[in-house]
Amino acid sequence: MKLSIGNIYVKDVVLGEANGFAGGVLTIDKQAAIDYLMGEDDHITSLDIVIAHPGDDTRIVPVIEIVEPRVRTDGRCLFPGVTDELVPAGDGELKAFKGCCITSVGGTYGSFGDGVIDMGGEGAKFTYWSQLINICLVGETDEEFEYHEQQKCNHAMRWAAHRLAEYVGKIATDVEVEDTETYVFDPVLKRSAERNALPNVAIVLQPQSQMEAMGYNDLIYGWDMNHFVPTFVSPTEILDGCLISGSFMPSSSKWATYEMQNFPTIKELFAEDGKTLNFVGVILSNLNVALDQKERSAIMVRNIALNLGVDYAIVTEEGYGNPDADYVRCQVILEDAGIPVVGISNECTGRDGMSQPLVTLDEKMTALVSTGNVSELCELPACKTVIGNLEAMNRDGMSGSWGYDEKLGKSGRDDGSIIMEDNNWFCGDHIAGYSVKTMLEV
């Protein structure tokens, strides 16, 4: 399978009365975009589009989803089973607007899985998103049954982000690209002797799929990952929109759809493919609740890896807590099968950093990459502008903030300053590989 992504670099985004791209400036017809989105989903009651630039004294909260705007040159939809009918993903040509993103924001209500982005100041250091021009889609919906629920599907606003990414991406249809990324995934059984002489490496992805109720989990080709069992997939499928983010999981631990579209660890494996390793693909697994489900998935991952002839594996999870059991068990069963593993995840070591980092550990896990401690406290001054609703931090059970603490008060203070755990940075641990954090050995 061959996937080509032509990159168009965006220097600025402005709102106007016609769509266009010239001189590095992306112009979006604001009213036409809003009319299109509201016509696609009756549950959306109001929408606004606001642009936030890197360095702006702006705080965005509650952030629901982030997507990269793209277009397929063959006319196929960006997200099969979501923005249009089911079609294959993983090959063909795309164009992508780089340097910007579609950011879905709750106009009033937040959720456990929603988070914060600061575009400037000290807070900008905590996420990759502050480096991008955020095309913020701020909306209200009639999903009243979710208003006072900690866990929200945020269905209308999440899918609106995917539709807007496709709408904006179509502006690139006749725009000349500046450079092209090409990813070729050759059939595993039809590779040269030279390739086969290199170590076989696979990456095991564990997207979020814990919720038994539908509408919260990640989707593959529009299908809820709770119904999924471990499967071999081409890495080009992941980069081409077959997998999209859900609403469940502490905010900093999530993979935004943007990260799935650009999965940095997958791209690094492609960069080394045929040089230092033979990249034999993605084993797409899941995260479960019951122990027998966890064990079943681990066994299936092991057997796929053995049948692919995997020599080394990377295992990475979306989330922490209960998913740690899936993450650890998968690594241990691969190690027992003679396949050395590197694990990538964040950790929850408490505000003092002294607690056990994962819910469960095993001495066979000898190579772990940490993308940060979700429990570390962060205190920041007010920003001049808030896009969304700061009160959501206090009211709606967001994963790293609270309405009252006898020592710390509330997370979103009356003067606009905030105190929260790193949990609350939207996809802030960037487990897919964008991590902005480093480790200090003391």
Residue among 420, 422, 412 nearest 386 (CA)? 412
Task: Measure CA 436 to chain center.
Answer: 15
Q: What is the mean pLDDT of residues 402-411?
A: 96
Query: How do residues 234-276 score in pLDDT, each as one tens digit?
Result: 999 999 999 999 999 999 999 999 999 999 999 999 999 999 9
User: Would you state the pLDDT for residue 30?
Assistant: 98
User: Would you state the pLDDT for residue 132?
Assistant: 98
d(C-alpha 95, C-alpha 75), whole Å: 11
What CA–CA distances, in Å, run from 346 to 144, 204, 372, 379?
A: 33, 16, 5, 20
The residue that leads in pLDDT, 441 or 290, is 290
pTM of the model: 0.97
Q: How much is the mean pLDDT over the chain?
A: 96
Q: What one-character DSSP code corresponds to residue 151?
A: S
Query: How do residues 162-193 score in pLDDT, each as one tens digit?
Result: 999 999 999 999 999 999 999 999 999 999 99
Helix (H, G, I), strand (E, B) or coil at 123: helix
Paired tokens of 163 = 């539709």
Domain residue limits, the chain: 2-424
- With a pLDDT cut of 70, the percent of the chain lying above it is 99
Segment holding 298, helix H or strand E? helix 291-308
d(C-alpha 277, C-alpha 202), whole Å: 10
- What residues have CB less than 8 Å from 442, skipping those under 6 apart? none
Residue 148: pLDDT band (50, 70, 90) is confident
User: Would you state the pLDDT for residue 289?
Assistant: 92
User: Would you state the pLDDT for residue 326?
Assistant: 97
Which letter, b or e, does each residue of 253-267 get, where b requires 16 or more Cβ atoms within 10 Å of its Cβ? bbbbbbbbbbbebbe
Q: What is the mean pLDDT of residues 384-403?
A: 96
User: Would you state the pLDDT for residue 439?
Assistant: 67
Please check the confidence at residue 12 and state whether its pLDDT lies above 90: yes
